[in-house]
Amino acid sequence: MLGKDVFYVKDYYIMLFTQTFIPTLREVPADAVIASHRLMFRSGMLRKLANGLFVYLPLGLRSFRKVEAIVREEMNAIGALEIKPTVVVPGELWKESGRWETMGDAMLRVKNRLGGDFVVSPTAEEAVTSLVRDALASYRQLPLTIYQINTKYRDEIRPRYGVMRGREFIMKDAYSYHTDEASLDETYHAMGAAYRRIFKRCGLSVIPVQADSGAMGGSDSEEFMVESAIGDNTLILCRDCDYAANVEKASCKPEAVLADSLSPTQASAVPALEPIHTPAVKTIEQLCAFLKTDAHKFIKTLIYRARNVALDLSGSPGVGGLAKRKSSPEAPLVYPEAFFAVAIRGDLEVNEVKLAAVLKASEVSLAADAEVVRLTAAPLGFAGPVGLKSLPLVADLTVTTMQDGITGALVADTHYVHVVYGRDFVPWLTADLRTVVSGDPCSLCGGELYEKKGNELGHIFKLGYKYTRSMQVSYLDENGQTHIPLMGTYGIGIDRTLASVIEEHHDDEGIIWPMTVAPYQVIIIPITYAGPVKALADTLAADLEQSRIEVLLDDRNERPGVKFKDADLMGIPYRVVVGEKNLARDTPVVEVKRRGEATFRLLEVAKAAAELNRLVYRELGC
């Protein structure tokens, strides 16, 4: 016995409300605009230490640890091995990988007292790859999958939505190393299956989507999304098949056969290129009105500035400075800045994430007006691909289908008509650069695509050689030959997963926890914690604890209505009310109610523990 009110039962004990710290709130925090943020504060799960920095209180930490445990169990089940690396990592490792220059201001860089560079980890590819490099010698050690559940820090410009987008957060990151593509593919799919099990066990409805690899690099990439009205991501889905992609990655069915496959006879059937006078007509809308035609007839040309470009631009015009390896001889060759002309059909928008991926750039942005005029030697609004020699031209695939287009002529108040791709201009590079929107045809089945908003919970990547090559990781094969291992990386946001459970499972009264991640499984509320009511409440709690059911006993000297409100707010799955009137019946009973259900049921006192045990373990899937 601990004190006078906490009872040990084997290695468990009954948690009394007065012995824990659950500071519930009646008012909604002013900056809390989404359900999870409001309810995590109001239920006493969370408190704010600074902007983007949060403290889990005992109630919140219990649910957090359960999400963490589910993730750990599923990682262990597929053979991943857990480690605990440091949060502060030597900057030299990031310089080796080339990301010291490309990660931007979100990465917190610090110096120690000796002036050495360090990073407060936003991710751990470099740290873990360094560990593997030092230990890897033979192909017999591969495949190898290592994971961590650890703190990260990203200096978000505008942290918001509570732990959904904080500056400091906990993630599970796994990293795998392989001798060949088949091995990497096997682990990649095993991770995808594990992620589906994790989110299902947490009670979440996820949408797996194709995704861009972004700053992580690599090839194949899949995100696990939950639908959310305030989601940071736009998802593109098909009404007729299972196609799903992040808008940053989404593609759609081409509208026509590529024009560069036209025969010479077909191409020659289009009239010759012709300049026309278009006084003070600069925008697509103005051109449509002036020429009485539609936007899809135009070739729109935009000028972009790209930073840290990892393409070979040798001899290309418009490159702002020489390529160099900033960190070490092994770091990738990078152009700090380069300019590109991007051509796309007039009714479409450039997807800048796709453009950055094609250019292997850390970021892209539209060039300033003065730069556009300087680089095109034309007034604003009259840029076009025909005769443009000052910049590398990147054309969207839709441009390659245009056989009789209209575009700027690089001369004031002048446009070209009868523009044919391949005849009148040839781009330096072609790629899928369009932003897919609702109504576009599905690339798989041709069905109609539509949009949803979503938040990312997890992301898996095939990284290939991006980090192992730049950080000089190698192993010897069975013939003594040296090879570089392939790599994959796989992340889940623990905080964001927990918040998403609340987003999906709540009502106007509070949280409705799935049993698997509830902070407690049963809350016992004695109407008055004294006499026979107290005795029964203590006995029932002890019986449940012996069955390893987690119980919170509300022993506070509060009105029943206050206790009921707090129980609903905290969302504990089963509420058991013990009152004198029900105990005075010929057959004593207690009230049992599942959170989220409108009605309660009466259970005989003698059978209550066994029935609650059955209900809880049924929901746990045991």
Find, among 555, 530, 494, 469, the residue nearest to 202 by Cα. 494
Which tokens in the block code for residue 1? 């016995």
pLDDT of residue 322: 56
Residue 2: pLDDT over 60: no
CA distances from 616 to 392, 608, 620 (A): 64, 12, 6
Tell me, what's the pLDDT at 257? Answer: 44
In the numeric block, the tokens 């007509």 are attached to: 281
The model's pTM is 0.83
Please check whether residue 487 is in contact with residue 179, taking contact to mean a CB–CB distance below 8 angstroms.
no
What is residue 13's predicted lDDT score, i.e. its pLDDT? 63
Which tokens sit at 451? 């949009």
CATH topology of domain 59-84+120-251+450-501: BirA Bifunctional Protein; domain 2 (3.30.930)
Q: What is the per-residue pLDDT across 87-106, written as a single tens digit (0 to 9) for each?
A: 999 999 999 988 888 788 88
Q: Give mean pLDDT, residues 499-506.
A: 96
pLDDT for res 132 = 96
Confidence of residue 10 (pLDDT cuts 50, 70, 90): very low
H or E segment and range at residue 198: helix 181-201
What is the C-alpha to C-alpha distance for residues 55 and 187, in angstroms, rounded to an integer? 35
Find the mean pLDDT for residues 452-461: 93
* 259-431 fold: YbaK protein (3.90.960)
For residues 232 and 338, the model is more confident at 338
Per-residue pLDDT at 229 exceeds 90: no
Six-digit token string for 376:
């095109």
Give the lowest-confidence range in 33-42, 306-315, 360-369: 306-315
State residue 194's pLDDT score: 98
Please tell me the number of Cα atoms within 13 Å of 561 on its side-chain side: 0
Cα–Cα distance, 338 to 322 (Å, whole number): 10
What is the pLDDT averaged over residues 351-378?
Answer: 93
Contact in structure between 373 and 390 (CB atoms under 8 Å): no
Output phi, psi for 207, to 5 deg.
-120, 105
Q: Quick one: average pLDDT of 60-89?
A: 97
Domain ranges of the chain: 8-30+520-619, 59-84+120-251+450-501, 259-431
What percentage of the chain reaches a pLDDT higher than 70? 92
pLDDT of residue 32: 87
pLDDT band at 27 (very low <50, low <70, confident <90, very high): confident
Residues in the chain: 622
pLDDT digits (tens, 9 = 90+) for 144-182: 999 999 999 998 888 889 999 899 999 999 999 999 999
Average pLDDT, stretch 464-470?
Answer: 91
Q: What is the pLDDT of residues 399-442, one digit of tens each?
A: 998 888 999 999 999 999 999 999 999 999 999 999 999 999 99
CA contacts within 13 A on the Cβ side of 160: 9
Give dist(CA 554, CA 199) in Å, integer.
Answer: 31
Model pLDDT, residue 213: 56
What is the pLDDT of the chain when averaged over all its residues? Answer: 90
- How much is the pLDDT for 332? 56
In CATH, 8-30+520-619 is 3.30.420.40: no
Q: Is the pLDDT of residue 222 over 60?
A: yes
Does residue 124 contact residue 173 with C-beta atoms inside 8 Å?
yes
Please report the pLDDT score of residue 236 as a whole number: 93
Q: What is the pLDDT of residue 291?
A: 87
What gap in Å lies between CA 553 and CA 521, rounded to an integer?
11
Q: Which helix (H) or strand (E) holds 147?
A: strand 144-153
pLDDT at 325: 52
Query: Measuring CA to CA, how many Å separate 520 from each of 207, 545, 567, 617?
Result: 28, 11, 11, 13
Between 166-180, 297-311, 515-529, the lowest mean confidence (pLDDT) is in 297-311
Please tell me the predicted confidence (pLDDT) of residue 256: 54
User: How far is Cα 69 from Cα 62, in angstroms, rounded to an integer?
Assistant: 11
User: 334: pLDDT confidence band, cut at 50, 70 and 90?
Assistant: confident
In this predicted structure, the answer to whether residue 261 has a pLDDT above a threshold of 60 is no
